[in-house]
């Protein structure tokens, strides 16, 4: 596949992950973004042997958008440190179904989530539930037409399936996300795809006290779906 490189320096590379592609390998044995980026770097720089590539965060398989990788151990350490400290700013955009009337234009959501390991489904639970993790995000409805809306999400914590679960919990499931209450589009090309895009990330470089911000536009088809609503 052709790798869409959004940013690269000596220590870090940022690429665009298409919806439906794994970031790293799983039981399916399907191709992964990590392997494709390794191959890209090997070919570009004519590297012998194995190519080092550090994975510092993940993006759900059905989602699309920006993924950061570290090209060196220094890059991996610096990025991992920023993710642990929650100093990396991550913005997402989603296309949602609006099931409830009177949904606030902007709102901070706080829930406690727990993942069921046997089903790989995350649920909202009581705060006192053993193993429950606090999840927080802020959303703003950017554009709405009837029962569809494009929503900007500022993620405060990084829990599995967090955006998908929290928005569904307030009556705004993501289009295509049948696992969490969204409708299936039915298009073959939408297999393993939901309308969630990691659209912006801001981080500090590995060797300088300098910030870099990378942004990508939301998919054109979202606007088309809004217009057709």
Active site positions, annotated:
60
Assess contact for 66 and 214: CB atoms under 8 A.
yes
* 8 Å CB contact between 186 and 14: no
Token readout for 142 is 């950017």
User: Is 99:126 a contact under the CB 8 Å cutoff?
Assistant: no
Rounded to whole angstroms, the Cα distance separating 211 from 85 reads 15
């Amino acid at each position: 596949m052709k790798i869409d490189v959004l940013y690269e320096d000596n220590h870090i590379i940022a690429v665009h992950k298409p919806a439906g592609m794994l970031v790293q390998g799983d039981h399916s044995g399907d191709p992964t973004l990590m392997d494709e980026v390794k191959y890209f770097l090997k070919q570009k720089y004519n590297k012998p042997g194995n190519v080092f590539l550090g994975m510092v965060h993940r993006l759900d398989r059905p989602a699309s958008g920006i993924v950061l990788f570290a090209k060196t151990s220094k890059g991996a350490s610096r990025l991992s440190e920023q993710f642990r400290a929650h100093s990396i700013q991550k913005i997402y955009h989603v296309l949602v179904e609006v099931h409830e009337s009177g949904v606030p234009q902007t709102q901070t959501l706080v829930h406690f989530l727990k993942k069921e390991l046997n089903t790989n489904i995350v649920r909202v639970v009581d705060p006192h539930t053993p193993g429950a993790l606090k999840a927080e995000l802020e959303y703003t409805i950017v554009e709405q037409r009837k029962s569809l809306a494009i929503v900007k999400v500022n993620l405060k914590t990084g829990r599995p399936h967090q955006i998908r679960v929290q928005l569904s919990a307030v009556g705004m499931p993501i289009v295509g996300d049948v696992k969490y209450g969204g409708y299936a589009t039915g298009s073959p090309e939408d297999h393993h795809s939901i309308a969630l895009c990691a659209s912006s990330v801001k981080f500090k470089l590995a060797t300088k006290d300098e910030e870099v911000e990378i942004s990508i536009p939301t998919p054109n088809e979202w606007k088309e779906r809004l217009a057709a609503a």
